[in-house]
Structures are given as C-alpha cells and as structure tokens.
Chains A and B, each alone.
Chain A
Amino acid sequence: MKVYDVVPGLEFEPERDFEQSPAWFLDGTHSVPPWTPMFGWFWINFCRHGMQYGAEKLSLPTVKGWDWRFHNGGGYLTLLLVKTEEEKRRREVEFRKAIMPFIQDFDGLWGGFVKEVLGLYEHLKKTDPDTATNIDLLQNFEDTINTCRRMWEIHMYMMYGVYTAYILFENICRDVAKIDDTSPLFHKLVSGFDNKVFQVDRKLWEFSKRAQQEGLADVFLKNEASAIKSKLEATDKGKAFMKDFTALMNEDGWRMQRMSEINLPTWVEDPSPALVNVKQFLQKGGDFNLDEERKKITEERLAAEKEVLGKVPQEQKGWFQQLMKLAQKSGVFSEEHDHYLDLYTHAMMRRSALGLGKRFAKLGALDDPEDIFFLIPDEVRRAGINPDQFNLRYIVDRRKAEWKEWQKTPNPPAFLKEGFDLNQAMGVLVQSMDPIALKVVVGSMPQVRPELKADLYGICGSPGVAEGTARVIMTEDELHLVQEGDILVAATTSPSWTPVFSMIKGVIVDRGASLSHAAIVGREYGIPVVMNVFEGTAKIKSGQRIKVDANLGVVFILN
C-alpha cells in the first residue's frame, strides 16, 4: 500500500490521465532502471516545467511541450498539442520573433546561459555541507531546487530552438543537395567541432601521458579501478599526481556516473571512473585520437561544405550559410549541454541532498545519509531545521521496499488507452512536429533493403565502414570490458561513455537519431555509427565478428 505519492499530483493514474491523452511513453533513455523517489520528484516536476516553458517562450506553432507522469520509478510522457488552426497561426507569428536570438547570436545566447548556470552552481558550492548550520543547509537545498528548475528552463528553451534549426537545415539539404540526416555527406557537414566534453577527455589523456612519463603507468595497468587511487597515494610522485587530478575533478568532475540519477557518487567524490579512462588511454597508447581525427574530419567538412554550396543558387548562399552554421552548432550544443546542464545540476542535487542526509543521520532522523534519496522535498523540509526532533525512517522503509520492487519488474514501454495501438501513438508523435520528439525519441525509420542481405538495418549516424569484434554493453559499469578495436553494441550511449570512443572502430545502437550522443561523438572520432537498428543488443553476441557499413546503414554478422 502506498502511504503517499512520490510526485504529488503527477503520479500516473489511468482513469484521469487517459482522459487527457490516450498514449503515455516511458522515457527509456533516462528512467530505466527506475529512479529513486527524490530524483524522480525533481525530473517529473522540472523537466515537465522546462519543456512547457521552452515551448511557450518560443511559441512553438504545433506543440506546447510535454506532460509527464511518474509510475514506479519510471517517467512517462505525452505531448501537449496545439488544438486549433487559429491558435497555430497566432503562435507562428510569435515564433518568428521568438526564434530570432538563435539566428542572430547563438554564441551570445548559449554563452550567456552557461555563465548564468555556472554562477548558480558557484553560489551553491559556497555552502559547506559539513559546517553549515541546519538553516543554511536547508536554504542550500531550496536554492538547489530552484537551480534545477532554472536549469530545465534553459535546457528546453535552447533544445527546442536548436533542434528546429537542425531539422530545417536537414529539410533544405534534402531539397537542394538531395541529402538528409541518414546520408554520409550530411554528417560530414556537421562534424569537426570541439566541445567541452572533448576538452575534458583531452585533459584525461594528458594525465595518461604524465603517468607514462613519471613511471606511474603500472599503477594503472596492474590494479583494479577501485585500488588505483590508494596505490597512487602510497608514493610521493603518485600523491602529487592525485593532487592535480583532484583539482581537475573539482573543476570538471561534476558529473554523474549515471546521467539521470543521483544515488551514485560524482567524479568529485569518487574519481575511479575518470581514473579508468586514464587507464584505457594507457592501454591504448599513442596519441590522442581526437587531434589526428579532428584535422581529417575538419578537412572533409570543408570539402562537403564546398560541394553542397555548389548546389545552392548564388542569391541563396547568404542565408544558407548562416543556417548551416547554426545547424553545425546544434551538435556542439547537444554534447555540451549534458555537461553544463544535466550532469552538473544533478551533481549539485546530490551534493546538497547528501549534505542534509549526513546531518539527518547524525542527529537521528535517518539511519543512513543515502536514505535521503527516498524522501521528497516536503518531507525533507519537515525535519530540515530540527532533525533531532523527527523520525523519518518509517517513510524511508516503505519507499525503499517499493523501490526495490520497482527494480524487479521493468516498466512497460507505454501506457495506451484501450483501442489505441503503438503505431497510432507513434503517428501522433510524428504529427506533433515536436522537434525533440522527432530528433531524439522517434528518429528516422530505417528502410529494409533485402537486396543487401544484411542482418540488421538502421540509419547512418556517422559515415564509414568497419569490421571487428562485437562488444555488447548494456550498462556503464560494463564499459571496462571494451577492448581496443571492438565494435560497441549498445541500447543507447551517454556522455560518460565518450572516452571509449577513442578505442573502438564502430558503434551500433538500438535507438537513436542524428543528434543522439553516439552519432555526434562518432562523427568527431571519425568512426561509423549505425542507429535505430532496434534489435542490435538482442541479435548480436559479444565476441562475434561483425561488419558495420554506416554508409548503407547496415550491419552484417559474420559468424
């Protein structure tokens, strides 16, 4: 029996919610495995708020963002469609004005937001969770809630604007150059750009060089991930190394191991995942791939730009080039926002909540600091100032038991009203013209070309052909199994997977579109990526020899 809702007012309730919409989709990218109650509360409330805020600020003509519900740790979403043609036309007029900042000064816009959120994070970091008073600690938590809310506003406003530009560029390319986001030439047009995530990777690579030079390589190569830190700290050289490494973590390590959850340590608390990245660079040896590749890819991009521009009539070149620049920035934004927005904010949420958790445990409201993740903000507030006066264990016990149950049975991929099937539901998504739904959730549907006799059909995320050993990776804690030269097979990938891209020859993902993580990073590393094969992780076994032909969007299983 449930004592109370995890996300009050936004728990999925079939009778009422099917009145509003006949189809609710599970956000499989972010809410599998099921969320802890506290993380779910933040996501459902504020991602929901951010999408409606972004769609409204931009006055998107056909869609008013998404609505979200919580069910057993899963996030379920549906679209809020604009209902009448009159309203669509009214919104179009506003949209034309609202989209201008993206076109006129994208760098100023995104740069301004980055500055704003970094300011919010700095403010939060000023509170030391170990020494702050109860009142200050609670205030820090309230500020974190507001930071998260603001982060989602920026996130979705930017994402809607950027993706609209990207889709337009694709449409225009289809008309003028007969290429779209499934064609290698198109991908060359949008590759060869640096971003924050790659810059962090490069710094990790530099640490691998330093370890080599200072004779510390064996500490990495001969020890398990969890032991590297303590072994390093046993020597003076290693201590100095760890000191600088910790400084990097404090600067850029505000990342979560799982992007959308707060119950695992950040790199700041536990640098092991980052040290594993250093280890993988050492195992691989040689130069930082990205630098060699970047030069080649940039040249290819310039050639592709020339080729496509040659097809554009002289009078049209001006705006076409301006639009192309904007579309090229979409990929950079797609990667960078994970770092500056989601990952950083979630790290701040963990920092603040865990600070309170420790205080609660110390003063008697909870047993374990991490039990705070089983509470929601109203319950935290109850004991915030006087944790010694309250006992919140009865809530934690029930919620934790429920949460453990959630982990046992996967949430269904969609809730559909009786008489409504998945095809119809997908049709509604397509018709919403919602840029995020199109580019992230739906993607382009692969075309089956029986004459190729391939084992899997997908779409091109990054051009190229490769043959190698398949490595099926389902979760991030299996990433250390990836070997040099493997072809990675995954359901989907996220920013913390980026470093393994320097080791592998190709990527196959079950779901994805041209602005998904795997596609963007694959293009920058110059390796083939085939996406939307749906059954890659089911059909391919680790160790099999496979051939990826991303130019054709197909995969062959060779044995």
Chain B
Amino acid sequence: MGPLDPLLSRRKGLNPMASKWIYWFEELGSKDNDLVGKKCANLGEMTRLGMRVPPGFAVCVSGYEQFMEQSGAGEEIRRYVKDSARGFKEVEKQIEASRTIRGIIESKPMPYDMKKELDACYDKLCARIGIDRVRVAVRSSGAVSMPGQMETFLNVLGKDAVSNHVIKVWGSAFTARAIAFRLEKGMDMQKAPIGVAVLKMVNAKSAGVVLTVLPTTGDTSKVVVEGNWGLGESVVSGEVNPDHFLIDKETLDIESTVNEKTKMVVYRSSGTATVEVPRDMRSKSCLTGEEIQEIVRVSLDVEKYFNTPQDMEWVVDLDLPFPQNVFWVQARPAKFSKKKQDDAEYIAELMTRVFKF
C-alpha cells in the first residue's frame, strides 16, 4: 500500500462522520497535500521540523465534501448547474453562476455535528494559547492549482465567526474563472479539492524573509535577512527599502544596514492596509540582535535538513517574549541561486529541485 492510503481509508468509511476531518498542524506533513491542501501540509511539515508555526488546525478536503452533502448545498448546486447547463458560455453568466453558487454555500449553516467538532477545536486552540477568544486567520489551502483566487480572512474572532468563515473560504472556490474551467474540463461542479487553515493571528511587530544563499551571486557562505515593521507583504512585494542583515555562516558575524522605512502593512478589521511608519521608528532596526540570531539559527537547521538553500518567511510577535515571539509562515527551496561549484554540479543540484513539490 502506497502513500495514497490516507486518502483511500478516508473515503472508504460508510459513515462520513466516523472519519477524521480536522487535524492539528503537528499531525501533518508535506505528504498530506491531498488531505488538507498545500498550505496546511507545508505548515504541518514546518511544525514537524520543530519550527515555531502559529498554532492552529487544518480542515480537510473531506470536511468540505461532508459539508456539501450534509447541508444540501451540493444537491442544490447540482440542480442549479443541471438547469442552466447551456447558459454558462458567456462571462456574464459565469459571474452570475459564481454569485449564485457562493450564495447557496454561504446560506447553509454548518451541520450540527460538524459545528460541534469545529467549536471544540477552536476551544482547544484557545486553551493551548491561554487566551479566552483568540483571533485567528482563516486561509484557503488548495490541493491542486486552480485558476482564480481563493480567499483568506484575517482577525476572525469567536466560534461562530470561525465556522462562518470556513464556509466563506469554501464558497470562494467558485469564482467565475474557476466555473469556466470546470465546465471546460467536465469536472463536477460541486467538488473542489480545497482545505482550510485556521491559525492564530500573529500580532506582527515586524516581518520579512530569510535566504540561506545570496540571490545575486549564489554565494552560499552567507545568510541574508530582510525585514520591515508590520506584516511581511511590504518586504515580499519590494515596495519598501527594508532593513538588510548579512550574516556569515561560519562566524555568525552580522553586517547590518538599517534603512529608512516609511511605509508598512498592518491588519485592519478585515484585510490589510498600507500606513505610514511612525517617525520615531523609521530609522530604527526592526529586529534585535538576538532575534536575528534566532532567525538565522532556524534557517540553517532547515537548510541542513533539506540539504538545499532555503527561502523562508518569518514574523516577530509584539506581545510574546523572546524566543517564543519568532514565528514561521513559509519555507521553500530557494530559487535561482548559484552555489560556489562548477556549472555542471550546479545544474545537477537544480535538477534535484525539479522533484520537490
């Protein structure tokens, strides 16, 4: 029996409620892409590697399927699609179909048994963190790439809000483009391989990236950390001139370049916004020396484990004490980074990365 087993055993059960459809991140790994989607599987793998990931849980693809069956949404969509099968050719019709299908999904309450389980997980998450009602992010986690954006909801507070937003993420699988794609491929309209990640919101003091190879020269003897105040989006998108720290892997000496940071991205009650950085913070380093050391230490561990340079994203929490405040939200092999080796060896190294999902 191969790696497909979890998927199969999950589907074999006669009583759908008998199978597990919510997993804590630490129970997951990169092999669980089919079960919970790519995002959740990646968070699971990072947790497993001992990296500090915002605590949370993953709602399986099967959870979505259960919801569609038990709430009656699946049947309603099937009927709607059947009645209007000829009418989806034009963009306008697809937009209308998207609105209707999302409406059907969002109008259904979470079935009683599912809601009970989801509530229990949220309570357990709150208990783990030690906060009564913890703010969470509810993110989509697709198992295969599908055209169209799937949504992410930030600052979700309380049990009812969590289950409502899980349903909203499920509904977001039905954009107009995704509908056109399914029609063309003859895929089942009411099916979508989509998982959901529910994780604690990190109250970001600062955030950014770390690369265990210099992207410009391919030098693997150094680590580069870049960061800004607030959320990491400003660093990833290259909008601001972030703080830049160059660390030697041997000596761990840090060469700091603290830049004038005028803008930062922060959470709003829904979504994010770009705001001015307060004057007194602009030319201050967004990381302390010990925070930099912690980021470098973890990144080198991960590089060693995967035996390939890493491109990772970190967030430092405002409220927690060091070192519990350093969180990781992404880890992947670094792209396009030349090592100090001959061209042929380097190509061979790049070819092995072809096999990394």
The interface of chain A, by Cβ under 8 A from chain B, is: 19-22, 60-62, 81, 83, 85, 88-89, 92-93, 95-97, 99-100, 103-104, 164-165, 167-168, 171-172, 175-176, 313, 315-316, 318-319, 322-323, 326, 417, 419-421, 423-424, 427-428, 430-431, 433, 435, 445-448, 450-451, 457, 534
Among B4, B350, B355, point to the contact of A22 (Cβ < 8 A): B4
Contact of B344 with A by CB under 8 A: yes
Assembled-state Cα–Cα distance A172/B338 (Å): 12
Given A313-B216, A420-B11, are A103 and B344 also a contact pair (CB < 8 Å)?
A: yes
Chain B residues with Cβ under 8 A from A417's Cβ?
8
Q: Which of B12-41 contact A (CB under 8 A)?
A: 12, 29-31, 33-34
Contact of B143 with A by CB under 8 A: yes
Chain A residues with Cβ under 8 A from B94's Cβ?
450
Assembled-state Cα–Cα distance A315/B214 (Å): 12
Assembled-state Cα–Cα distance A532/B8 (Å): 30
- Which 4 A-B pairs give the minimum distances between C-beta atoms? A319-B343, A61-B355, A419-B11, A448-B180
Q: Which of B165-198 contact A (CB under 8 A)?
A: 176-177, 180-181, 183-185, 187-188, 191, 193
Among A61, A104, A451, A534, point to the contact of B344 (Cβ < 8 A): A104
Given A85-B29, A315-B218, are A95 and B193 also a contact pair (CB < 8 Å)?
A: no
Indicate if the CB atoms of A419 and B351 lie closer than 8 Å: no
Indicate if the CB atoms of A316 and B338 lie closer than 8 Å: yes
Given A92-B307, A427-B143, are A446 and B184 also a contact pair (CB < 8 Å)?
A: yes
Indicate if the CB atoms of B354 and A171 lie closer than 8 Å: yes
Assembled-state Cα–Cα distance A61/B356 (Å): 9
Indicate if the CB atoms of A433 and B217 lie closer than 8 Å: no
Indicate if the CB atoms of B12 and A419 lie closer than 8 Å: yes
Chain A residues with Cβ under 8 A from B112's Cβ?
none
Closest to A171 in B: B354
A227 to chain B, nearest CB (A): 46
Assembled-state Cα–Cα distance A171/B307 (Å): 20
Indicate if the CB atoms of A433 and B354 lie closer than 8 Å: yes
Assembled-state Cα–Cα distance A45/B352 (Å): 29
Among B1, B2, B352, point to the contact of A96 (Cβ < 8 A): B352
B174 to chain A, nearest CB (A): 15
Assembled-state Cα–Cα distance A314/B223 (Å): 21
Indicate if the CB atoms of A430 and B347 lie closer than 8 Å: no
B96 to chain A, nearest CB (A): 13
Indicate if the CB atoms of B184 and A457 lie closer than 8 Å: yes
Given A85-B30, A318-B343, A419-B11, are A100 and B354 also a contact pair (CB < 8 Å)?
A: no
Indicate if the CB atoms of A448 and B354 lie closer than 8 Å: no
Contact of B144 with A by CB under 8 A: yes
Closest to A21 in B: B2
Indicate if the CB atoms of B307 and A175 lie closer than 8 Å: no
B28 to chain A, nearest CB (A): 13
Indicate if the CB atoms of A96 and B354 lie closer than 8 Å: no
Q: Mark B217-243, 1 if CB is under 8 A from A, else 0.
A: 110000000000000000000000000
Among A20, A176, A448, point to the contact of B181 (Cβ < 8 A): A448
Chain A residues with Cβ under 8 A from B31's Cβ?
85
Contact of B322 with A by CB under 8 A: no
A457 to chain B, nearest CB (A): 6
Other A-B contacts than A89-B307, A421-B188, A457-B184, 4 sampled, CB-CB below 8 A, are: A81-B2, A168-B347, A319-B338, A431-B33
Contact of B349 with A by CB under 8 A: yes
Indicate if the CB atoms of B347 and A323 lie closer than 8 Å: yes
B331 to chain A, nearest CB (A): 14
Assembled-state Cα–Cα distance A60/B357 (Å): 14
Given A21-B2, A423-B187, A448-B180, are A103 and B348 also a contact pair (CB < 8 Å)?
A: yes
Contact of B3 with A by CB under 8 A: yes
Indicate if the CB atoms of B338 and A100 lie closer than 8 Å: no
Indicate if the CB atoms of A172 and B217 lie closer than 8 Å: no
- Give the A-B pair count, Cβ closer than 8 A: 131
Assembled-state Cα–Cα distance A175/B311 (Å): 14
Assembled-state Cα–Cα distance A275/B98 (Å): 56
Closest to A434 in B: B355
Indicate if the CB atoms of A60 and B355 lie closer than 8 Å: yes
Indicate if the CB atoms of A447 and B147 lie closer than 8 Å: yes
A172 to chain B, nearest CB (A): 7
Chain B residues with Cβ under 8 A from A83's Cβ?
2-3
Q: Which of B320-350 contact A (CB under 8 A)?
A: 335-336, 338, 343-350
Q: Which of B129-160 contact A (CB under 8 A)?
A: 143-144, 147
A328 to chain B, nearest CB (A): 14
Closest to A163 in B: B354
Assembled-state Cα–Cα distance A171/B344 (Å): 17
Chain A residues with Cβ under 8 A from B336's Cβ?
172, 175-176, 316
Closest to A59 in B: B352
Assembled-state Cα–Cα distance A315/B90 (Å): 49
Closest to B1 in A: A19
Assembled-state Cα–Cα distance A319/B345 (Å): 9
Assembled-state Cα–Cα distance A427/B354 (Å): 17
23 contacts between A and B (CB under 8 A): A20-B1, A60-B355, A81-B3, A85-B29, A95-B351, A95-B355, A96-B345, A103-B347, A168-B347, A172-B336, A315-B217, A423-B193, A424-B7, A427-B143, A428-B34, A431-B357, A433-B354, A433-B356, A447-B181, A448-B184, A450-B91, A451-B91, A534-B184
B338 to chain A, nearest CB (A): 6
Given A92-B355, A424-B7, A447-B147, are A100 and B344 also a contact pair (CB < 8 Å)?
A: yes
Chain A residues with Cβ under 8 A from B144's Cβ?
423, 427, 430
Chain B residues with Cβ under 8 A from A427's Cβ?
34, 143-144, 193
Closest to B95 in A: A450
Given A322-B344, A417-B8, are A168 and B350 also a contact pair (CB < 8 Å)?
A: yes
Assembled-state Cα–Cα distance A83/B31 (Å): 9
Among A103, A176, A433, A445, point to the contact of B357 (Cβ < 8 A): A433
Closest to B31 in A: A85
Q: Which of B202-260 contact A (CB under 8 A)?
A: 216-218
Closest to B144 in A: A427
Among B4, B90, B349, point to the contact of A21 (Cβ < 8 A): B4
Indicate if the CB atoms of B347 and A92 lie closer than 8 Å: no
Chain A residues with Cβ under 8 A from B11's Cβ?
419-420
B39 to chain A, nearest CB (A): 15
Chain B residues with Cβ under 8 A from A315's Cβ?
216-218, 338
Assembled-state Cα–Cα distance A94/B261 (Å): 46
Closest to B143 in A: A427
Indicate if the CB atoms of B184 and A319 lie closer than 8 Å: no
B31 to chain A, nearest CB (A): 7
Chain B residues with Cβ under 8 A from A19's Cβ?
1
Chain A residues with Cβ under 8 A from B143's Cβ?
427
Given A85-B29, A433-B357, are A165 and B351 also a contact pair (CB < 8 Å)?
A: yes
Chain A residues with Cβ under 8 A from B30's Cβ?
85
Among A95, A318, A448, point to the contact of B352 (Cβ < 8 A): A95
Assembled-state Cα–Cα distance A93/B290 (Å): 34
Chain A residues with Cβ under 8 A from B348's Cβ?
95-97, 99-100, 103
Q: Mark B260-291, 1 if CB is under 8 A from A, else 0.
A: 00000000000000000000000000000000
Indicate if the CB atoms of B347 and A322 lie closer than 8 Å: yes
Indicate if the CB atoms of A420 and B147 lie closer than 8 Å: no
Chain A residues with Cβ under 8 A from B346's Cβ?
319
Chain A residues with Cβ under 8 A from B147's Cβ?
447-448
Indicate if the CB atoms of A96 and B349 lie closer than 8 Å: yes
A167 to chain B, nearest CB (A): 5
